Structure 1
């Protein structure tokens, strides 16, 4: 029990810190430069680390374990973040150095979050939790942390300024380090070797086969996902080392049709969301509030709605078709906030719209995580989750850059119109095509399955 709640608490502190950075950095750049284009560039540098961290971080999590990876990642992130306000006070923070610190501070977040996330299903099962309960609880904690962090950032920006509020992020990272260090046991390398030998015995190295009675990665009727099962079940031992990193995770995602479809969809929605979060909303907020502190409350209202949505998801997960639910959630989460800002609705109305949009968005992550956990074998989760994060986030830097460039060239209104229309089209995608039936299929995958080599 201590390990489960320790990891969840560390994840919460980490997300609070990330939420503060998410609000403070765009406002800090706008305050120093007054440029939408510069804000877009800063947004690109704040999202690019998610991609790089996903590629480089997952193999490190696999190699060193969740405990070491989380502690090191959060420690290094704290050092980079706290350097920003200190250098700003010394008047020694040129724009290039700010971008470098933003990049370095963010590059450790992805492996740190991956390290915490991949151990949750097994820790939850020890307590008798279902997978939906684990993903729902994790998502609710992350959303509530984002709510707390954005609210703290909003008040902090108004009181002490966008730069100084980053000191709080460093303290959150320090708390996460302490929690992981005392609650999560170190991984024993001998156990890893024993597990690897179970799956890939030397005498069958050329063509290993699952032990008799071992459950399949996917249900027998899920023929469309057979290539992924083949990749997991029949990978030769000679290639075992190659399966440790990003490319194994990327191949697994691409060969599993439902995961491929989900990632391509989220790839585009994340680009739009990134432009909205790092450029559109901060600029809109600074236009209606003196310090831009309203931005923190905008993020907070969305997070509050998402928290409620994530909390309700476990109650309705077994009653509603995931495919239909995803279409509705995307349609309600994406376009309405853009429309509200476009028509110049009063701030209180925009905050209400953001809350409702968050309510719908809160169910999206549990659906995605539940699908991933059902498709990915236990010992491959760090690699595949790292690849998933990197691929899903790969368009975010471009989204931020295009958002800033678009606002600088054409103004805010055309960007809002384009984002709303594109989101409507994306919301309709899961309604068509047989591949999306994979959302409804239960996949046999759990600790009882013979694990993948790590």
Structure 2
């Protein structure tokens, strides 16, 4: 199997591990404490990870070898879940220690995601880059459906320990495939130091790097703000995340306003996961033949349509279809923006710009969730106006960004030109 294909397969399994962790850790905490508050806290390691590791991750990835960071992050996550499995086996492990381990895994995940953006750019070019990002996002969406389901089966059949060991195994597989891919890259030997003669091989992490993390973070932030295209696509993604805060109201809407059973509520929520996976596939298939800017804007407008349809839903099936549309359309935006960023941003700044942009988008998502919840409460617990308002917000914001920035650059920006499409890559 070619190195790049092996790498993608390993990442699909790693993403399944992320999906397993979504339910495995909260279930463990709930089993030990019975506390919904602590269980909810255990479900937020990614958010906590970005709060802790979002600032240093970008500069360190840019200055160190991103492939070694991938290896280290996988090793850390594998060890964390082995320790959690051991905690189940011996009983009596403090909940604080379990939450701390979950946060360590979350921080490692932030470093992994940041380094992955650089590694994928190193492996793929032209339409292959877009397809690789589409494959990764599809795998991530499917993992959110398959992962929790697999945890439920494993816990019921073999117990909590089996689910945690399986989670550790997924990161072990990712570790092996990253290592093998790394060894197959040209002009590289897996030795104690990075090959500085290869431009894809930054010098190994040194003591001076740690002292300059803050200044280098600001360098990346300045680039993000001053590059009109990068700032505009990041703003579009943040607007999407803010508007999609209304998506968190779908279970409440289905249950409390539409009177749906628990099974039908699950159907409405599952529509988002399936739609997101389909959207990532569509972006990978259609993206190389279309203008990335226009594709991104189309995804934004379809997201607004999905939000509006959700607000008008007379029943659960309609709501599930609307959720699939808005999740799929927003996933097109995610895939195209990620690829644009990898193509446009200089490689030496990509880690910083990636981690900063993701932190901003995550903050927008959290703000959207809080805001839509408050507005629904103020409107007598009726989420319909909130969905419709979010649709108008996304549509107006998209038009404003197009008129203000992207309309002037869409025709001359061609990151998927023929020369890039023909660039050699590893296989």
> TM-score, with normalisation over the residues of structure 2?
0.73
Cα pair 2:278 2:328 within 8 Å, conserved: yes
SS at match of 1:245: helix
Partner residue, 1:424 = 392
Cα pair 2:303 2:330 within 8 Å, conserved: yes
Deviation by residue 1:150-183 (Cα, 9 ceiling, x = unmatched): 2242253256259564443322111110101111
Deviation by residue 1:342-371 (Cα, 9 ceiling, x = unmatched): x5515xx54444333343233212321233
Partner residue, 1:261 = 232
What runs of 5+ residues in structure 1 fail to find an aligned partner? 198-240, 448-454
Partner residue, 1:327 = 300
Residues 5/388 of structure 1: CA separation in 2 closer, same or farther (3 Å cut): same
Cα pair 1:322 1:440 within 8 Å, conserved: no
Partner residue, 1:190 = 196
Give distance in 2, aligned partners of 1:350 and 1:113. 32
Partner residue, 2:55 = 55
Task: Give yes or no for the alignment of 1:373 onto 2:373.
Answer: no
Shift of 1:253: 0.3
SS at match of 2:133: helix
Task: Give yes or no for the alignment of 1:305 onto 2:300.
Answer: no
Question: Which of 436, 439, 442 is residue 406 of structure 2 equivalent to?
Answer: 436
Shift of 1:425: 0.9
Give distance in 2, aligned partners of 1:193 and 1:137. 22
What runs of 5+ residues in structure 2 fail to find an aligned partner? 184-189, 204-211, 421-427
Partner residue, 1:151 = 146
Partner residue, 1:391 = 360
Cα pair 1:336 1:353 within 8 Å, conserved: yes
Partner residue, 1:176 = 174
Give distance in 1, aligned partners of 2:281 and 2:213. 41
Partner residue, 1:12 = 12
Shift of 1:252: 0.5
SS at match of 2:197: helix
Task: Give yes or no for the alignment of 1:137 onto 2:132.
Answer: yes
Residues 273/102 of structure 1: CA separation in 2 closer, same or farther (3 Å cut): farther
After superposing the two structures, state which structure 1 stretch, 259-268 or 104-113, moved more.
Answer: 259-268
Cα pair 1:275 1:396 within 8 Å, conserved: no
Give distance in 2, aligned partners of 1:410 and 1:251. 38
SS at match of 1:190: coil
Partner residue, 1:202 = none
Give distance in 2, aligned partners of 1:306 and 1:181. 30
Residues 108/284 of structure 1: CA separation in 2 closer, same or farther (3 Å cut): farther
Give distance in 2, aligned partners of 1:424 and 1:39. 35
5 Å-filtered alignment, 1:85-100, equals 87=87, 92=92, 96-100=96-100
Partner residue, 1:317 = 290
Shift of 1:54: 3.0
Shift of 1:108: 1.0
Residues 2/61 of structure 1: CA separation in 2 closer, same or farther (3 Å cut): farther
Residues 429/440 of structure 1: CA separation in 2 closer, same or farther (3 Å cut): farther
Shift of 1:255: 0.9
Residues 59/160 of structure 1: CA separation in 2 closer, same or farther (3 Å cut): same
> TM-score, with normalisation over the residues of structure 1?
0.69
Partner residue, 2:423 = none
Deviation by residue 1:290-348 (Cα, 9 ceiling, x = unmatched): 899768845542333224323333354249834642432332454545665xx5515xx
Shift of 1:410: 7.5
Residues 175/135 of structure 1: CA separation in 2 closer, same or farther (3 Å cut): same
Partner residue, 2:425 = none
5 Å-filtered alignment, 1:26-37, equals 35=36
Cα pair 2:246 2:386 within 8 Å, conserved: no
Partner residue, 1:200 = none
Give distance in 2, aligned partners of 1:417 and 1:316. 37
Deviation by residue 1:13-61 (Cα, 9 ceiling, x = unmatched): 22222223335556777786575x6666555543131343332222222
Give distance in 2, aligned partners of 1:269 and 1:38. 29
Partner residue, 2:46 = 46
Cα pair 1:53 1:111 within 8 Å, conserved: yes
Give distance in 1, aligned partners of 2:35 and 2:370. 16
Give distance in 1, aligned partners of 2:254 and 2:30. 12
Cα pair 1:327 1:431 within 8 Å, conserved: no
Shift of 1:273: 4.3
Shift of 1:115: 1.7
Partner residue, 1:357 = 326
Q: How many pairs does the alignment contain?
A: 393
Shift of 1:441: 3.5
